[in-house]
């Protein structure tokens, strides 16, 4: 938001002259009085420009339930409003499809421990356990049981970090590596080494027919 203030000052001067004549038998006296008044008017104009933030893509698409997705791609539990302290309801279920690889940035996560949970990549998150930094694949699911409700959660998408410098994006055969992939629960990008392979960096390829299988060393 940009605010610009312009102040204009206008000064008006008014002069009034009054002449008084007094006559006696032998003398005529004329007295002139001049009064000057100055009026200053100040006008202030304020112009405000509001910058509009463009909403981003929505990498997690709601396919079932009363959860919501805001204009910036953040997913929210039903009735979520941290300031109003509203709560989600019992017997709720939501599902989201993952349409673009993004990391999870947890802005708030307050759910009943052990009974209400968010499932990401087959792992259940509840209570103090949060899916911070996780990269969902497949579906994201929400479930609340028959009792005890809380404020809920808000999770926003975070761009994947760039690949390590000089890590490479192709296998030794010249096949393209996938931008984002997982192995044994570990997120990787392009050429990586999620299992500390002694033979060096490797990746999941985009085209199996190029490499001969889904994996190749870089």
Q: E-strand spans in the chain? A: 2-23, 28-49, 60-64, 68-69, 75-76, 93-98, 103-110, 117-120, 123-125, 139-143, 152-158, 181-183, 186-188, 202-204, 215-217
- Per-residue confidence (pLDDT) for residue 30, from 0 to 100: 52
- Tens of pLDDT, residues 5-35: 444 455 545 555 455 555 445 555 555 555 5
Yes or no: say if 138 and 113 are a contact pair by the CB < 8 Å rule.
no
Q: If pLDDT is split at 50, 70 and 90, which confidence band does 176 have?
A: very high
Task: Locate 72 and state its tokens.
Answer: 């910036």
Tell me: pLDDT of 184 over 50: yes
What is the percent of the chain where pLDDT is above 70? 70
Report the pLDDT value the prediction gives residue 91, as an integer from 0 to 100: 96
pLDDT at 49 over 50: no
Paired with 182 in beta bridges are: 187
Per-residue pLDDT reduced to its tens digit, 118-173: 999 999 999 999 999 898 988 999 999 999 999 999 999 988 766 666 678 899 99
Tell me if the pTM is above 0.85.
Answer: no
- The residue with tokens 């497949």 is 138
> Phi/psi class of residue 127: alpha, beta or left (left: φ > 0; alpha: ψ in -120 to 50)?
left
pLDDT of the residue at 153: 97
What is the tens place of the pLDDT at every residue in 81-122? 988 889 999 999 999 999 988 999 999 999 999 999 999 999
Predicted confidence band of residue 213 (pLDDT cuts 50, 70, 90): very high
Lowest mean pLDDT among 78-92, 178-192, 193-207: 178-192
């Amino acid at each position: 938001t940009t605010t610009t203030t312009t102040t204009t000052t206008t000064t008006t001067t008014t002069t009034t002259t009054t002449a008084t004549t007094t006559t006696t038998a032998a003398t005529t006296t004329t007295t002139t009085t001049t009064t000057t008044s100055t009026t200053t008017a100040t006008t202030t104009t304020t112009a405000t420009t509001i910058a509009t933030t463009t909403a981003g893509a929505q990498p997690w698409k709601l396919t079932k339930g009363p959860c919501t997705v805001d204009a910036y791609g953040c997913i929210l539990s039903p009735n979520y409003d941290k300031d109003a302290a509203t709560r989600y309801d019992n017997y709720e279920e939501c599902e989201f499809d993952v349409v673009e690889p993004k990391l999870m940035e947890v802005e708030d996560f307050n759910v009943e421990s052990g009974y209400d949970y968010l499932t990401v990549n087959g792992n259940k998150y509840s209570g103090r356990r949060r899916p911070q930094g996780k990269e969902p694949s497949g579906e994201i699911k929400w479930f609340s049981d028959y009792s005890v409700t809380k404020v809920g959660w808000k999770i926003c998408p975070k761009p994947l970090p760039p690949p390590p410098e000089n890590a490479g994006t192709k296998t030794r055969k010249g096949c393209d590596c996938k931008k984002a992939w997982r192995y044994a629960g570990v997120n990787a990008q392009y050429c990586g080494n999620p299992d500390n392979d002694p033979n060096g960096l490797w990746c999941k390829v985009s085209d199996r027919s190029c490499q001969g299988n889904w994996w190749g060393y870089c």
